[in-house]
Amino acid sequence: MAIKVFCDAADLASMLQLAKNPRISGFTTNPTLMRKAGVTDYRAFARSALDAVTDRPISFEVLADDFATMERQALEISSWAKNVYVKIPVTNSARESSAGLVKKLAQAGVKVNVTAVFTPAQVKVVAAALAGGPPSVVSVFAGRIADSGRDPKPLMHESLNFCRAADKNIELLWASPREVLNVVEAESVGCDIITATPDLLAKLPSLGKNLDDFSLETVEMFLRDAKAAGYVL
């Protein structure tokens, strides 16, 4: 498939293992994943990840809610390595757009990954802000859009058009996928990147699998587990 697959994780052991896999084209993380993984020192975690990931993009997120502090943090994060992208949320918690900061960072040569994007209108604004800058990413949370009961594909089509119209250096990322089918959907839309957790990455070998064979494997799994548990009737 043409679409690039990025690992979305904060478990360093998993990231180090997946860094050996040439099918993984990059890495992303966020404070929520880091907290779940038990990360306590942001800089130490980043240094360890960057020691392993030197030849592919890796995104780290700012931690602030005000734009002045976001800018300071973004400049520091960007300085860690040439392959670092800085994740900037599309708004702060007061619903104020981060487009002004995104434009400032892009013009300063910072590779930005605009995150927590949900609507084509948001994509249009941030894509315009990123135009003329270095390579950048717009992360649209298609999985969460689907969680709201909406089909994300038409929204992703529209978002892709805005990215392409703004600048060829802007890549559209399908974020928060829930199943392997989402990889197929993202590819059909024309998205440049899809993120996947290690659990979802483990399912990718099932892509295109013969369904009769899949059925038999499932029957065998139930039989094996029943025997292993010692169930009797």
d(CA 5, CA 146): 20
In the set 20, 36, 87, 153, the catalytic residue is 87
DSSP-assigned letters across all residues of 122-190: HHHHHHHHHTTSSSEEEEE-HHHHHHTT--HHHHHHHHHHHHHHH-TTEEEEE-S--SHHHHHHHHHHT
d(CA 180, CA 154): 19
87 is catalytic: yes
d(CA 171, CA 152): 17
Cβ atoms 58, 30 nearer than 8 A: no
What are the catalytic residues? 87
